[in-house]
Structure 1
Amino acid sequence: MNTSDPLRDLYADWSQVMADNPDMSMRLFRAIFDEWHQPTVEPENVTYKEEVIGGVPGIWCLPQGADTSRVLVYTHGGGFAVGSAASHRKLAAHVAKTLSVTSFVLDYRRAPEHPHPAQIEDGIAVIEALIDSGIQPENLTTIGDSAGGNLAVAIPLALIQQNKPVPGRVIAFSPWLDMENKGKTLETNLDTDALITPELLAGMIAGVLGDKTEPTNPLANPLYADFTGFPRLYINAGSVEALLDNAERLNERAKAAGVDVTLSIGENQQHVWPFLAGRSELVDQELQRIREWYGAS
């Protein structure tokens, strides 16, 4: 059995670089996290196109033969501060190809230069522009990983608050939701997670919330949100990651509000394990589960 895990190896390398360079500039921090695509195999028969939608730049992932009336609006992870459309386009393309739809990966404004709620505002701008272009709201899916998983959940919550059309589905990979930084698996999975530490998260929380947004604000921390009327929701996480309980608590909160929610836990998998797309049989199986979930109504 092949036990190699290029994602875990990448995280371990980043962790070492961060430990060796505690005063690293944001410029270098972002450059390192743009390596996030490396464990992902380039999907075949997908083309990419850069475009600005609703004032927000990003990258289209266009699988051959995809249904262009259906769009995944992908918000990348990276603590709201790092990561990019470039670092996540291959992952977004794998999901889009599996579902036979298109995906637009946002280069939303990042913290700390642009604190909360700039990221949510950018997501709403893209969704409204896509609807204005003729895409039906029910054919839109917000999807994201880590901090982007937070945004994939928070953007529909904000749309519900504003009485605006809401996407038909939401997909969250290893969502990072707890801005109070006190989830139990931050302690119990600390030794098995190759990347996430409470200290790393604390710095990112300070960057995105600043001194203006409370860590219990429901649009910053959806664990405090009212999920009444929320779309169908698919959540996954890795069993050994420090943010596992964020996914579990989201599942419980959504279920209590009557949301149609599915939770999938990848055994022995790291943070945002779908990054192993094209390289892992477990991820292949997970993408097929998402395909079945997406097609069900």
Structure 2
Amino acid sequence: MTWQQRRDLEAMLLKEAHEPEPLPIEQLRERFAAMMAGFPAPADVRGTPTELGGRPALRVEPEGEPRAGAILYLHGGSWVLGSPATGFVNTANLVTRTRVAAISLDYRLAPEHPFPAAIEDCLAAYRALLDAGTDPATIVFAGDSAGGGLSVSTSLAARAAGLPQPAAIVAFSPGVDLTRAGASMVTRQDRDPYFTRDGFGHTTAMYLGGQDPAQPLLSPAVYADLTGLPPMLLQVGTNELLLDDAVRLAARAAEADVDVILDVTAGVPHVFQSFGPALDEAGRALDRAALFITQHLGVSAAR
């Protein structure tokens, strides 16, 4: 059953041809927002606009009393697209499964605000949670795609700033190598229904703003010392150009004695967790992510 779902989803997505030329940024944002609005989110959560670290955010809570803790959710969109609204489906799915409230951050986007603006915003949000008295052992960073990359880079920035680490990181299809050196950038180019190498080059250039991608906060899968980072769960599909971003990050984390789970699902696309009822593996992956979060909340990271 599940393999038939994967094949049907792959066939459906591959019918959508890649754009031959890059679209203007506003058109890209509108199309991304429209696409993400089509993914069904659970109804048993409530979203409330709020502010965190000087940026707009959306607080997402389960029905009834939430359990202690906080998920700092960082949406995807290649660092140039997206908002808490586009990230709502995955935020809500984690909240309803863990019963832990989440705050989805509306960090600044390129090209208006290139690197390191997004990381600065995420770090400010984390610092605000700590300043409000939230125990870092009850905070989990989670994100998809660019947001998955930001969850790792924000942990690195927190370490550099002398802040304690969060309890854990959950990253769906993380973008963690802006040099785009992974072998899957070539080997998966005929299977990825969303991205092309040229398309990545277009959005990456906007985020870089002329800066060298060969540095730890931009390409942690290649250049970062991951020592001292919290336990990580990295989920990725085999039908995506970013497969090797997660694979190489997991290897470097293990080398640095960081607890890491690399969770690879065959035959599924980028951030497949969003596909909900159309794909059994989406729900199963979210169940595994929720278990990982609840297992790590409140557990000291001291070694």
Structure 1 length-normalised TM: 0.92
Q: Where in structure 2 are the equivalents of 1:87-236 lying within 5 Å? A: 87-211=86-210, 213-223=211-221, 224-236=223-235
Contact 2:168 2:232 in 1 (8 A): yes
How far the C-alpha of 1:66 sits from its partner, in A, is 5.0
Contact 1:41 1:279 in 2 (8 A): no
Give the corresponding residue for 2:299.
none
Change (3 A) 1:31 1:94: same
Q: Aligned AA for 1:215?
A: P
How far the C-alpha of 1:294 sits from its partner, in A, is 2.3
How far the C-alpha of 1:216 sits from its partner, in A, is 1.1
Contact 2:69 2:100 in 1 (8 A): yes
Change (3 A) 1:146 1:12: farther
How far the C-alpha of 1:37 sits from its partner, in A, is 2.3
Secondary structure class of the residue paired with 2:284: helix
Q: Where in structure 2 are the equivalents of 1:31-70 lying within 5 Å? A: 31-38=30-37, 40-67=39-66, 69-70=68-69
Q: Aligned AA for 2:73?
A: Y
In structure 2, runs of 5+ residues without a counterpart are: 297-303
How far the C-alpha of 1:198 sits from its partner, in A, is 0.8
Contact 2:45 2:95 in 1 (8 A): no
Contact 1:50 1:57 in 2 (8 A): yes
Secondary structure class of the residue paired with 1:252: helix
**Which deviations, in whole Å up to 9, do the C-alpha atoms of 1:3-27 show, x marking residues without a partner?**
37568746754x54x33xx353211
Runs (4+) of structure 1 moved beyond 6 Å?
none
Secondary structure class of the residue paired with 1:296: helix
Deviates more, 1:1-10 or 1:120-129: 1-10
Contact 1:36 1:83 in 2 (8 A): no
Contact 1:7 1:276 in 2 (8 A): no
How far the C-alpha of 1:165 sits from its partner, in A, is 2.1
Structure 2 length-normalised TM: 0.91
How far the C-alpha of 1:61 sits from its partner, in A, is 1.2
Q: Aligned AA for 1:59?
A: L
Change (3 A) 1:258 1:63: same
- Aligned residue pair count: 292
Q: Aligned AA for 1:126?
A: A
How far the C-alpha of 1:93 sits from its partner, in A, is 0.7
**Which deviations, in whole Å up to 9, do the C-alpha atoms of 1:102-149 show, x marking residues without a partner?**
111111100011011100110011111122222211111111111111
Q: Aligned AA for 1:87?
A: T
Change (3 A) 1:247 1:55: same
Secondary structure class of the residue paired with 2:87: helix
In structure 1, runs of 5+ residues without a counterpart are: none
**Which deviations, in whole Å up to 9, do the C-alpha atoms of 1:21-75 show, x marking residues without a partner?**
x353211110001124245322021111111111111211111135353111111
1:134 & 1:8 partners in 2: Cα distance? Answer: 49
Secondary structure class of the residue paired with 2:102: strand
Q: CA RMSD in A?
A: 1.9
Give the corresponding residue for 1:265.
264
